[in-house]
Amino acid sequence: MNICIIGIGSNINAETNISKMLEILKTKVEVVRVSIFLKTKPIGIIDQPDFTNGAVKVKSELNQKKLIVLLKGIEDEMGRDRSNPKFGPRCIDLDIAVWNNEIVDKDYYTRDFLQKSVDELKD
């Protein structure tokens, strides 16, 4: 069984989209715990709404590549527009931050909100 922490972000109807994403995720993997959510200023493109960021700790038998495919599928199902710029608005953004106790997302080291959310969920 793999244990990972997934970073969550949204700045389009964030409360509704994060709630919906968690419901979908619970049907695919075992959700262990969800962090508190933080409001953060956008990075890169600052002329857009603030983001809501947090993280979710899950258990899954999927390997890392298959879990990434699952997460991208959830983003697509929720209407993620991949034509937007890299730091543009998004209805949902899901990235594996920690895989079996190993930090795998370099953003962990540069984004305070991600560190806080991940550290809250570490055992």
Percent of the chain with pLDDT over 90: 87
Question: Which helix (H) or strand (E) element contains residue 96?
Answer: strand 93-99
List domains and CATH numbers for the chain: 2-121 (3.30.70.560)
Local confidence band at 22 (pLDDT 50, 70, 90 cut-offs): very high
Handedness of CA 1, 97, 41, 48 (dihedral sign): negative
Q: Which of 37, 23, 17, 40 is nearest to 87 (CA)?
A: 40
Q: What is the share, in percent, of the chain residues with pLDDT greater than 70? A: 100
Confidence class of residue 86 from pLDDT cuts 50, 70 and 90?
Answer: confident
